Amino acid sequence: MARICQITGKRPTTGSIIHRKGQSKKSGGIGTHITKTTRRTFRPNLQRIRVKLPSGQIKRMWVSVKAIKAGKVQKA
């Protein structure tokens, strides 16, 4: 399954996991330092729901929860 919302076009994006080590200055240390970064993916929250299309047809689609909450799709 391609993790893409069929309404909004939301798709996975990439980012980083940042590992920090050390005691913060607020706690009396010399501050935290970045020791390692790793790549990660942010995946959209997709749900497979039955959608009523403008033509009146009912179809199952992968839709993001953000689109469902915003009312961009009409549930069947």
Domain residue limits at 34: 13-69
pTM for the full predicted model:
0.71
Q: Would you say residue 5 lies in a domain?
A: no
Please give the pLDDT value at position 5.
Answer: 95
Q: Would you say residue 1 lies in a domain?
A: no
pLDDT, one tens digit per residue, over 11-59 is 999 999 999 999 999 999 999 999 999 999 999 999 999 999 989 999 9
pLDDT at 1 over 80: no
Asked if residues 74 and 50 have their Cβ atoms less than 8 Å apart, the reply is: no
Number of domains the chain contains: 1
Q: Would you say residue 40 lies in a domain?
A: yes
Please give the pLDDT value at position 17.
Answer: 97
Please give the pLDDT value at position 2.
Answer: 82
CATH number of the domain that residue 65 is part of: 2.30.170
| Spatial separation of the C-alpha atoms in residues 49 and 39, rounded to whole Å | 31
DSSP per-residue codes, 1-60: -----TTT----EEEEEEEEES--GGGTSS--EEEEEEEEEE---EEEEEEE-TTS-EEE
Q: Is the dihedral of CA 35, 39, 44, 46 positive or negative?
A: negative
Q: Would you say residue 74 lies in a domain?
A: no
